[in-house]
Amino acid sequence: MAEIIIVNTEDEAAELYGRTVADLIQNKPNAVLGLATGSSPLLAYEHLADIIKNEHIDVSNVQGFALDEYLGLPLEHEQSYHSTIRRTVTEPLGLNPQYVHAPGDVLNGAPLSNGDLIAKAGPDYDDAIDKAGGIDVQILGIGTDGHVGFNEPGSSLSSGTRVKTLTEQTRIDNMRFFDNDLNQVPTHCITQGIGTIMRARHVILLAFGANKAQAVADAVEGGISSFCPASALQMHKHATVIVDRDAASKLQLADYYRWVYANKPDWQKL
């Protein structure tokens, strides 16, 4: 794991992400962003949108690839990740919607039984990422069970984009978006694999709140194991984990991470 940054507020984390991505786009106008849903990245997107607006940054050639999608939800369903990314990223940042993709875009709610279509969608998505030049910065949240994207415990650490079955814990965690009715939460998803995520040139994982503390500790300080898929990031050359004090509360080396960050040379960026 490259760097663990313990911040006081979510806002500080959002600033770090916003500045990093804004600088990237200024240096590389056709940058490729890996995009995540969930509540953890929301403030980071807002902050990036503000910088883009205030500094008049041209984003017309920026491309985006979402991490994952529920299976069986039509694209226009307000909880599909296609719609969520439109609402929280594409529109506020002013990206060209033609350049922003999600792994379920070709499926548009196709039922799980449509094997031919669904099985091809994953490898095609990985090809599309490669053709775009690969992801420059991938933002990630983390599930309470250590999942990233929708790679649940037990996921192959070298997996590509493919169909997965959600754990009951994840469906319960996400029930709040579906009228608190577990029956409405899809059972399957299509997600970038851990291998796909590992190919991103820079990965920034954000986690806030005490309910993420165990997953963060397992990911950062536990053994590398498919039991905690986020732990694969320990093998990544450029992974940045930004957590608040509550999410950092189970880290054994928290004081050391704080000291490292406080004494970081100015020339070293995120």
| Active centre residues (catalytic) | 68, 145, 147, 152
- Angle between helix axes 10-27 and 42-54 (nearest 10 degrees) is 50
Tell which one of 37, 84, 192, 196 touches ligand GLP (CB under 6 A): 37
Alpha-carbon span 143 to 228, nearest angstrom? 10
| Distance (Å, whole) CA 138 – CA 204 | 6
Considering CB under 6 A, how many residues would be counted as binding ligand GLP? 14
> In the set 142, 200, 216, 219, which binds ligand GLP (CB under 6 A)?
142
Minimum Å gap between C-beta 198 and ligand GLP is 16
The piece of 32-40, 92-100, 156-164, 262-270 that touches ligand GLP (CB under 6 A) is 32-40
Give the Cα separation of 96 and 153 in Å (integer). 34
What one-letter code names the amino acid at 62? V
Task: Decide whether 21 or 142 has the Cβ nearer to ligand GLP.
Answer: 142
CB atoms under 10 Å from CB of 77, counted, come to 16
By the rule CB under 6 A, 39 interacts with ligand GLP: yes
Q: Is 240 in the site for ligand GLP (CB under 6 A)?
A: no
- For residue 204, state whether it binds ligand GLP (rule: CB under 6 A): no
Closest distance between ligand GLP and the C-beta of residue 129, in Å?
16
Q: Distance between CA 149 and CA 56 in Å, rounded?
A: 31
CA-to-CA distance for 4 and 206, rounded, in angstroms?
10
- Binding residues (CB under 6 A) for ligand GLP: these are 36-40, 67-68, 141-143, 149-150, 170, 174
